[in-house]
Amino acid sequence: STWVLIGSSSPSLIGTANYASRRDVRGCPSMSVVQLHPEVEQAVADHRPVVALESTILAHGLPRGDNRTAADRFEAAVRRGGAVPATIAVLDGAVRVGLTPDQLDRLCAGDDVAKLSVRDLAPALALGRDGATTVASTAALAHRAGIAVFATGGLGGVHRGAAETFDVSADLPVLGSTPIVVVCAGVKSILDVGATLEYLETLSVAVLGYRTDAFPGFYLADSGFPAPWRVDIPEQVASVLTHRRGLGGPGAGVLVANPVPPESELDRGLHDRTLASGLELVEREHVTGKDVTPRLLAHFHEVTAGASLAVNVDLVLSNALLAGQIAAALAEQR
């Protein structure tokens, strides 16, 4: 069963035990802090399609107010694609896989919502903090909960200047050891895209362009780099994951790079100017570490007077819909 693979392939991400079955997962003390929403739990148990959604984009990537509306729209897009949505976050001292409307309200309005990568999960749980999960922690938690498909906006990656700062998102190594499908619009264009693609190759992550030969550039449909592989239908992505698992070995992830719909793309000139001023700004304000990405995204939203916000929401909607279709195709192939 899938549970055997899920349990045995990345035992060390969150806990230390090697879980071999669903019963073991439930019985493990470290899993008692993982609370599945009843609808999600039932869907996973029935092997029906489920798509994980991250919460850092809500709490730290989109402005207050817009984020709450967007949260509902992301979940609705997953349902349109044919799957049950499971937004993941840490609330009330527990990991929540699938949030209630009240929990989404808190996550989107909260002033004290930490940004949690994988390494932050245990401290946040121990100290009873609320937190939003990044691509890295959402992928790890989704996988442990038995969810095979995950949608986000733009993947984190190698930052510009990383040769000196060492700023490389944990999104990359986690994807390198988690056999899950992540649907994104490429990596965020604020990053060093070429270096990120190289690192994904080093980590053995399969990179698939969806209906494109060009690797997408988040706000832009084309990053200027080619996509290593091209797929054209959700069934092909499902088949790639099935084969990835069938090959065994350390389970790396599958990255589906779905370009922003052409009609939603940001104007390239505006993009390039805003990026240049944003990079100057983080330098001038000495913004470092996990604050860099949220600061640059906020700068885009300010300078483009909401144009980048609309693009960001549109591309996540498109990814959530596709992720739903991929999860549905995967359930069909079982």
In angstroms, give the least distance from the CB of 140 to ligand PSU: 11
Beta strands in the chain (DSSP E): 34-36, 50-53, 84-91, 94-97, 113-116, 130-133, 149-151, 181-184, 206-210, 214-217, 220-226, 229-231, 254-257
Residues 129-148 that bind ligand PSU (CB under 6 A): 134-136
Q: Which of 167, 171, 192, 265 binds Mn ion (CB under 5 A)?
A: 167
**169 known member of a binding site:** yes
Instruction: Show the tokens assigned to 139.
Output: 């992928």
54 an active-site residue?
yes
Instruction: Decide whether 136 or 252 has the Cβ nearer to ligand PSU.
Output: 136
Q: How many CA atoms are closer than 13 Å to the CA of 208, on its beta-carbon side?
A: 23
Q: In angstroms, what is the minimal distance from the CB of 244 to ligand PSU?
A: 21
Annotated binding residue 115: yes
Burial 153-177 (b: 16+ CB within 10 A, else e): bbbbbbbbebeeeebbbbbbbbbbb
- Between 157 and 179, whose beta carbon lies closer to Mn ion? 157
Complex with Mn ion: residue 130 or 171, whichever CB lies closer: 171
Stretch that binds Mn ion, among 159-167, 172-180, 202-210, 221-229 (CB under 5 A): 159-167
Cα distance between residue 41 and residue 47, in whole Å? 10
For the segment 29-58, give every residue that binds ligand PSU (CB under 6 A): 54, 56-57
Residue of minimal Cβ distance to Mn ion? 167
> Is 156 one of the binding residues for ligand PSU (CB under 6 A)?
yes
Tell whether 170 is in a known binding site: yes
| Catalytic, out of 41, 164, 188, 285 | 188
- Looking only at residues 262 through 291 of this chain, which bind Mn ion when binding is defined by CB under 5 A? none
* Residues belonging to the chain: 334
Q: Which two tokens stand for residue 167?
A: 């700023």
DSSP assignments along 135-178, one per residue: HHHHHHHHHHTT--EEE-SSB--BBTTHHHH--B-THHHHHHT-
290 binds ligand PSU (CB under 6 A): yes
Strand ranges in 202-313 using DSSP code E only, listed in sequence order = 206-210, 214-217, 220-226, 229-231, 254-257
Q: Is 171 annotated as a binding residue?
A: yes
Closest by Cα among 165, 145, 181 to 257: 181
Q: How far apart are alpha carbons 248 and 87 in whole angstroms? A: 28
Q: Which span (162-170, 184-192, 199-207, 224-232) binds Mn ion, by CB under 5 A? A: 162-170
Q: Report in angstroms how near the CB of residue 100 gets to ligand PSU at its nearest.
A: 21
Residue 277 Cβ vs Mn ion, minimum distance, rounded to whole Å = 20
Tokens of 185: 């619009």
Region of 17-25, 166-174, 183-191, 217-225 interacting with Mn ion (CB under 5 A): 166-174
Indicate whether 258 belongs to the interface with ligand PSU (CB under 6 A): no
Which residues are known binding-site members for substrate? Answer: 115, 135, 169-171
| Positions in the binding site for Mn ion (CB under 5 A) | 167
